[in-house]
């Protein structure tokens, strides 16, 4: 592969390094050079987001930057002068979807040779993916990673004015960059980053390599953003991090996440959510704060991954089946109404039938409200990807189906408990299919479709539940 001078390519070896270096918080890094300020005048951009909420929130920053450069958004790639795909690398099928999309959008470059085709996000942090893009997808002329969103103006300038292919992916650990522009996609619900990166290094997971070292935002910056959101009329915020429980450890913030949650609750925004919590460092103080404040929602996403101790150990999850169950029941004892969801991986290398059975047993005991279940996908560069695997894809698929049938059954039972009850729903919007039908979420994160008059998106309304399904509830508004 020929590389151009000035290109910065991802380097897996570098990405694996972690140092004790203090986190740098940069407040002045984002500046738009004067020659770039009108770069997007008369030009349209199309932005598509894959993956988790971290990417959703990054896309809001990308949109904010592009709109400061005077680009305007469009709904269809056919209308765009700039196509940007913000990608996810968590499993192979996530990547295949993106590569397929890049291939199918190539036709647009034929009819519009000036089209800028950009790829960013977690796939851009992967060495092998960038090699493939550079060699086989020559119509992609802009590639940048998760650590340098703030460099988008300069990189675009290189492509648009310098007529160069621009590639800049940093493999260093990453700083915290404040004061980036943002265009929020929602009017009533907002994402708030509280930390970036992940240092847990679960052996199957690519995120510590694509998102860099775990680093927290200063508490004052997070709280200021939330105060502003409240002033702007937002009803719900979700505090985001790969593992929110370890918030503040790097900055030696006393009280850590429990303290941040409490300070957030005191601001008085109606609904506070957070994701994701790793079971390993879920403190008693956190449970206490969640239970004490009505505006911290009684819903916790608590990924277990497996119910088998040996598999959990090889995964590097740092807890046992018994420790997970102890935490689960502690939460339920203090907050019986609290809904709990989870993530589970089946078919981790060499998982035996007996080990899979331990996962089913755990699901039967916990009766989760919701679960996200996956077949293990080997990720280049992670320790698990180097393990030999004796389990066939057929067996993995059968286990996934069995697991899904199992948790679905309990999710339905959980929903049945809502029949006849009155719940508070934050309205997302009107149904596209039926008049006077609205949808939104309960405090426990259940999707509700309900009939009602005089309803507006963003309202919190009372709804009586009249029917239940596995993945949603039906109801009618109570005045």
Site of interaction with ligand SAH (CB under 6 A): 90-91, 204-205, 207, 242-243, 276, 278, 303, 305, 343, 345, 374, 376-377, 379
Say if residue 205 carries a ligand binding annotation: yes
What phi, psi does 431 have (nearest 5°)?
-70, 140
**Shorter beta-carbon distance to ligand F3S: residue 358 or 379:** 379
How many other CB atoms are there within 10 angstroms of residue 268's CB atom? 10
Cβ contacts of 50 within 8 Å, gap of 6 or more: 85, 86, 87, 88, 94, 97, 98, 121
Smallest distance, ligand F3S to C-beta of residue 87, A? 7
**Shorter beta-carbon distance to ligand F3S: residue 191 or 418:** 191
Contact yes or no for 373/333 (Cβ under 8 A): no
Q: Which of ligand F3S, ligand SF4, ligand SAH, none is residue 345 near (CB under 5 to 8 Å by kind)? A: ligand SAH
Smallest distance, ligand SF4 to C-beta of residue 400, A? 18
Say if residue 202 carries a ligand binding annotation: yes
Smallest distance, ligand SAH to C-beta of residue 45, A? 28
Q: Is 15 in the site for ligand SF4 (CB under 6 A)?
A: no
Q: Which of ligand F3S, ligand SAH, ligand SF4, none is residue 208 near (CB under 5 to 8 Å by kind)? A: ligand SF4
**Shorter beta-carbon distance to ligand F3S: residue 201 or 293:** 201
Smallest distance, ligand SF4 to C-beta of residue 174, A? 15
| Residue of the chain from 150, 278, 358, 399 that contacts ligand SF4 (CB under 6 A) | 278
Say if residue 122 carries a ligand binding annotation: yes
Q: Which of ligand SF4, ligand SAH, ligand F3S, none is residue 101 near (CB under 5 to 8 Å by kind)? A: none
Q: Name the token pair of 420.
A: 């006849």
Contact yes or no for 204/346 (Cβ under 8 A): no
Say if residue 406 carries a ligand binding annotation: no
Residue closest to ligand F3S when measured from CB atoms: 51
Say if residue 120 carries a ligand binding annotation: no
Q: Which of ligand SAH, ligand F3S, ligand SF4, none is residue 379 near (CB under 5 to 8 Å by kind)? A: ligand SAH
Q: Which of ligand SF4, ligand SAH, ligand F3S, none is residue 122 near (CB under 5 to 8 Å by kind)? A: ligand F3S
Q: Which of ligand SF4, ligand F3S, ligand SAH, none is residue 51 near (CB under 5 to 8 Å by kind)? A: ligand F3S
Say if residue 88 carries a ligand binding annotation: yes
Can you give the chain as a three-state secondary structure string? CCCCCCCECCCHHHHCCCCCCCCCEECCCCCCCHHHCCCCCCCEEEEEECCCHHHHHHHHHHHHHHHHCCCEECCCHHHCCEEEEEECCCCHHHHHHHHHHHHHHHHHHHHCCCCEEEEEEHHHHCHHHHHHHHHHCCCCCEEECCCCHHHHHHHHHHHHCCCCCEEECCCCCCCEECCCCCCCCCCCEEEEECEECCCCCCCCCCHHHHHCCCEECCHHHHHHHHHHHHHCCCCEEEEECCCHHHCCCCCCCCCHHHHHHHHHHHHCCCEEEEECCCHHHCCHHHHHHHHHCCCECCEEECCCECCCHHHHHHHCCCCCHHHHHHHHHHHHHHCCCCEEEEEEEECCCCCCHHHHHHHHHHHHHHCCCEEEEEECCCCCCCHHHHCCCCCCHHHHHHHHHHHHHHHHHHHHHHHHCCCCCEEEEEEEEECCCCCCEEEEECCCCCEEEEECCCCCCCCEEEEEEEEECCCCEEEEEEC
**Shorter beta-carbon distance to ligand F3S: residue 88 or 345:** 88
How far is residue 184 from each of residues 13, 58, 81, 191, measured CA to CA in Å? Answer: 35, 10, 22, 9
Binding string, residues 175-214; x marks residues near ligand SF4 by CB under 6 A: -----------------------x-xxx--x-xx------
Size of the site for ligand SF4 (CB under 6 A): 10
Smallest distance, ligand SF4 to C-beta of residue 316, A? 8
| Residue of the chain from 141, 146, 242, 359 that contacts ligand SF4 (CB under 6 A) | 242
**Shorter beta-carbon distance to ligand F3S: residue 207 or 311:** 207
Contact yes or no for 189/235 (Cβ under 8 A): yes
Smallest distance, ligand SF4 to C-beta of residue 210, A? 9
| Residue of the chain from 243, 355, 370, 449 that contacts ligand SF4 (CB under 6 A) | 243
Contacts to ligand F3S by CB under 6 A: 51-52, 54-55, 88-90, 121-122, 206-207, 210-211
**Shorter beta-carbon distance to ligand SAH: residue 219 or 345:** 345
**Shorter beta-carbon distance to ligand SAH: residue 150 or 379:** 379
Which residues make up the interface to ligand SF4 (CB under 6 A)? Answer: 198, 200-202, 205, 207-208, 242-243, 278
Which residue ranges are tagged as binding site for [4Fe-4S] cluster?
52, 88, 122, 198, 202, 205
């Amino acid at each position: 592969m020929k590389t151009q001078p000035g290109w910065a390519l991802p380097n897996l070896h570098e990405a694996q390094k972690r140092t004790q270096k203090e986190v740098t918080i940069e407040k002045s890094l984002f500046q738009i050079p004067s020659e770039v300020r009108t770069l997007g005048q008369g030009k349209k951009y199309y932005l598509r987001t894959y993956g988790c909420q971290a990417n959703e929130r990054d896309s809001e920053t990308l949109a904010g930057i592009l709109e400061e450069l005077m680009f305007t958004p469009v709904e269809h790639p056919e209308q765009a002068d700039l196509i940007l795909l913000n990608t996810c690398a968590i499993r192979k099928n996530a990547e295949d979807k993106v590569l397929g999309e890049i291939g199918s959008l190539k036709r647009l470059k034929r009819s519009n040779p000036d089209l800028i085709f950009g790829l960013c996000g977690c796939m851009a942090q992967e060495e092998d993916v960038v090699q493939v893009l550079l060699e086989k997808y020559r119509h992609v002329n802009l590639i940048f990673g998760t650590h340098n969103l703030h460099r988008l103006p300069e990189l675009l300038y290189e492509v648009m004015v310098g007529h160069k292919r621009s590639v800049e992916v940093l493999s260093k650990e990453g700083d915290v960059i404040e004061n980036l522009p943002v265009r929020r996609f929602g009017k009533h619900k907002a994402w708030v980053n509280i930390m970036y990166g992940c240092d847990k290094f679960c052996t199957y997971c690519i995120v510590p390599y694509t998102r860099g070292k775990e680093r927290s935002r200063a508490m004052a910056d997070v709280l200021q953003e939330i105060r502003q959101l409240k002033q702007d009329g937002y009803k719900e915020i979700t505090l985001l991090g790969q593992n929110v429980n370890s918030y503040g450890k790097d900055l030696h913030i006393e009280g850590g996440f429990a303290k941040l949650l409490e300070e957030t609750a005191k601001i008085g925004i109606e609904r506070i959510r957070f994701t994701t919590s790793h079971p390993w460092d879920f403190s008693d103080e956190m449970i206490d704060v969640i239970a004490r404040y009505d505006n911290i929602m009684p819903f916790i996403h608590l990924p277990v991954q497996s119910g088998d101790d040996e598999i959990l150990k090889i995964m590097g999850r740092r807890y046992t089946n018994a420790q997970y169950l102890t935490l689960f029941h502690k939460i339920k004892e203090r907050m019986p109404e609290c809904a709990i969801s989870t993530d589970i991986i089946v078919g981790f290398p060499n998982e035996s039938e007996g080990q899979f059975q331990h996962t089913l047993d755990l699901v039967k005991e916990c009766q989760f409200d919701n679960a996200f279940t996956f077949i293990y996908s080997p990720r280049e560069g992670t320790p698990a990807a180097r393990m030999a695997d004796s389990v066939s894809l057929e067996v993995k698929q059968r286990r996934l189906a069995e697991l899904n049938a199992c948790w679905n059954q309990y999710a339905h039972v959980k929903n049945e408990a809502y029949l006849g009850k009155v719940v508070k729903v934050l309205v997302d919007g009107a149904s596209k299919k039926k008049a006077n039908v609205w949808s939104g979420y309960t405090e426990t994160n259940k999707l509700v479709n309900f009939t009602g008059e005089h309803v507006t998106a963003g309202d919190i309304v009372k709804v009586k539940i009249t029917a239940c399904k596995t993945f949603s509830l039906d109801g009618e508004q109570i005045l």
